[in-house]
Amino acid sequence: MIASVDGRVAAVSPEGAVVEVGGIGLSVQCTPGTIARLAVGEQARLATSLVVREDSLTLYGFADDDERQLFELLQTANGVGPRLAQAVLAIHPPREVRRAVSMGDLKALMQVPGIGKKGAERLVLELRDRLGSTTSDTSLDGPAPAGLGSVTPVAPWRDQLTAALVSLGWTGKEAESAVAQLAPIADEQVVATGSVEVAVLLRQALRLLGRP
């Protein structure tokens, strides 16, 4: 198992990044929140999980060990594969996933593309006793989880989206313009669901800007 990668970021895309380790470029699939923390040419360390299939080897990257462990645990639920598990973490941080499952918050779980009411109910039924208590998590103002010391807290959606676009090659001015155009959509998301889906906004920003 490849538990982590540590090296220079060679490339960043909307789906992930290439990290050079020992002269080898490793393609790592990441959520928008993780991508936003990466910059081409800089050093990065990601917790990783290798998914092996008959016809492929896919490496998934995460901001910290807690995200990786939750990614792997989500896949123990019936009908949840790596892509859906990653989609869950693209929409909700680990603390919110645990809260939603432990409290049976189907509405929060159904915010994830690919999860309907039955899927949300199945996650609650199968994972409620395995995800751990939300009370054991650090508070929003407390220290980051133990693991990768360089990980920073999740930024507000504006900063997170701007950083992701800049890392993909646009100027700060271009990124800020796209973010400003998407602000009404983000506001609608907050009213409808109580949170901002950065993954959705990133895809819309890419459509607005085109390739850099």
Sequential pLDDT tens for the chain (212 residues)? 789 999 999 998 878 999 999 999 999 999 888 888 888 899 999 999 999 988 889 999 999 999 999 999 999 999 999 999 998 988 888 889 999 999 999 998 988 888 999 999 999 999 998 886 554 443 333 443 433 333 333 446 787 788 777 767 778 888 889 888 988 888 887 777 777 777 778 878 888 887 54
Residues sharing a CB contact under 8 Å with residue 193, sequence separation 6 or more, in sequence order: 107, 108, 111
The distance from CA 20 to its chain's CA centroid, rounded to whole angstroms, is 21
Query: In the prediction, which pLDDT does 145 show?
Result: 40
Torsion 121-123-129-134 (CA) sign: negative
Q: Are residues 41 and 93 in the same domain?
A: no
Q: Are residues 52 and 101 in the same domain?
A: no
Query: How many folded domains does the chain comprise?
Result: 3
Q: Are residues 41 and 52 in the same domain?
A: yes
Query: In the prediction, which pLDDT does 24 show?
Result: 93
**Residue 144 counted as domain residue:** no
In sequence order, what are the beta bridge partners of 44? 7
Torsion 66-67-71-77 (CA) sign: positive
**Residue 139 counted as domain residue:** no
Q: Are residues 123 and 77 in the same domain?
A: yes
Q: Which contacts qualify for 152-160: CB closer than 8 Å, 24 or more apart?
A: 152/37, 154/33, 154/93, 155/36, 157/186, 157/196, 157/198, 157/201, 158/183, 160/32, 160/33, 160/36, 160/198
Query: In the prediction, which pLDDT does 183 show?
Result: 87
By residue range, what is the domain housing residue 9?
4-62
Residues sharing a CB contact under 8 Å with residue 169, sequence separation 6 or more, in sequence order: 212
Q: What is the 8-class DSSP label of residue 136?
A: G
CATH number of the domain that residue 73 is part of: 1.10.150.20
Query: In the prediction, which pLDDT does 111 show?
Result: 83
Q: Are residues 83 and 122 in the same domain?
A: yes
